[in-house]
Amino acid sequence: MVAGWPSRSALRHPSYTRRALTISPYASLRVRDFRRLLLAHGTLTVAREAQIVVIGWQVYELTHDPLTLGLIGLAEALPFIAIALYAGHLADRAPRRTIAIGGAFAVMCSAVALLLLTITPGAIAVTRVWPIYVVISLSAIARSLMRPAVFALSAEVLPRELYPNAVAWRSSTWHLAAIAGPAAGGVLYGFSGPALAYSVVIIGMALGVAILLSLQHRAAPAASDDVPIGESLKSGIRFVMSEQVLLAAMTLDLFAVLFGGAVALLPAFATLLGSGPEGLGILRAAPAIGSIGTGIVVAHRPPMRSAGRSVFIAVAGFGVCMIAFALSRSFWLSFTLLIVSGACDNVSVVIRSTLLQTRTPQHLLGRVSAVNQIFIGSSNEIGEFESGVAARLLGVVPSVIFGGCMTLLVVAAVAWRSPQLRKMRGLI
């Protein structure tokens, strides 16, 4: 044990106060299995984010149609959401470590399939990109099964008092990986083409699987009740609907990102700004640069005292950044605006994730995180489809301006309808 640090049993004790947490911003990192989960999460995210850039540029280079970029999001969202509730039920009934390993291995297999499609002559072409969508859909099923298990497992290996600290570090790890991943994907594609890029992605995913295999935590969650699967699935939904603050935070995130995100259209903006796949990788990494800064600040500061007000300000700032990004014609100004948007977005992520872990009983974590997964899957992947459709109908730039304006309207509507979230102070 490091001198001056509290023991694991002391961390679990109710007398361990917020003041103690502020003294030890690295407290959650002392737990070995949590460190391994972070490392696996980061490694898999680097590989996945690199793969997203490669897929996006490969499809856009073939078709030059922004709608095909939106269809990538739809191909991922539909299967992802379709089995999310069952994935949560499974995470509360089966060993979460096993589910996490199996899901990560299946995601790695999807990367192998993309490589085979790329190196096989005639497998994909200008009018034949549907095989890529099929692989994306299968990968989405694997990720949907994996996410609730990983989320619940990270809470399972830590005492409750460390959840806010752990969320900040997990968010920072994800965003650090989301900086390295897109940059690596863009550089690899730009200098060597998609085949080598997919090969590196496979290696990264294999490393992530190996790290998950090294986890020592093997306990299966004990089912608190013996109810039919249909009733089990409904329990997660009922819990979220009964927690008005949590529901409002999820709703705010869902609609803000659904309308306000421009990530799916970054290949088109990279072309508009006069850059190639290397520039796309830089733009794709920009939001993560801002997000990781926010995460580190949150980890080193005392718990938020005005969390409700902070989340509304942050999401409104995100919407303003999207409008300014659409109007920008300078690559580095666009890059800077994406950094600021990422910083704003991560405030919402930390608050929502902390609320989810602190307000949900352990035996419901898998199912409630699955409901959250539906919200996030809807906002991210379906948001990409919405962006593609809006870009086809309105044009690339007007569609993002419209989305940013809608984000501001969503913030106003949720603030008006959810005074509990607006007035919320602490997260624990």
Q: Tell me the DSSP string of 339-392.
A: HHHHHHHHHHHHHHHHHHHHHS-GGGHHHHHHHHHHHHHIIIIIHHHHHHHHHH
Per-residue model confidence (pLDDT) at position 2: 33
Q: Does residue 356 have a pLDDT over 80?
A: no
More confident residue, 253 or 299: 253
At 139, is the pLDDT very low, low, confident or very high (cuts 50, 70, 90)?
very high
Residue 164 to residue 117: CA distance in whole angstroms? 42
Residue type, 191: F
Q: Does residue 12 have a pLDDT over 50?
A: no
Per-residue model confidence (pLDDT) at position 137: 92
At 11, is the pLDDT very low, low, confident or very high (cuts 50, 70, 90)?
very low
Q: Does residue 23 have a pLDDT over 50?
A: no
Give the chain's length.
428
Q: Does residue 122 have a pLDDT over 60?
A: yes
Average pLDDT, the chain: 80
Per-residue model confidence (pLDDT) at position 227: 60
Tens-place pLDDT, residues 24-64 = 778 888 888 889 999 998 999 999 989 988 998 888 888 88
Per-residue model confidence (pLDDT) at position 14: 44
Per-residue model confidence (pLDDT) at position 39: 92
- Average pLDDT in the 355-360 region? 76
Per-residue model confidence (pLDDT) at position 388: 75
Residue 394 to residue 66: CA distance in whole angstroms? 11
What count of Cα atoms within 13 Å lies in the side-chain half-sphere of residue 209? 17
**Residue 331 burial (10 A CB sphere; 0-12, 13-18, 19+):** middle
Residue 19 to residue 199: CA distance in whole angstroms? 47
Per-residue model confidence (pLDDT) at position 78: 83
Point out which residues pair with 128 in neighbouring strands: 125
Per-residue model confidence (pLDDT) at position 229: 67
Of 161-170, 279-288, 352-361, 408-417, the range with the highest mean pLDDT is 408-417
Per-residue model confidence (pLDDT) at position 104: 94
Q: Does residue 379 have a pLDDT over 70?
A: no
- Average pLDDT in the 114-128 region? 85
Tens-place pLDDT, residues 407-425 = 899 889 888 888 888 777 6
More confident residue, 424 or 321: 321
Q: Does residue 400 have a pLDDT over 70?
A: yes
Domain locations in the chain?
30-215+227-423
Per-residue model confidence (pLDDT) at position 301: 65
Per-residue model confidence (pLDDT) at position 21: 42
Q: Does residue 303 have a pLDDT over 70?
A: no
Tens-place pLDDT, residues 227-269 = 666 676 677 778 877 787 888 888 887 777 777 666 778 888 8
Q: Homologous superfamily of 30-215+227-423 in CATH?
A: MFS general substrate transporter like domains (1.20.1250.20)
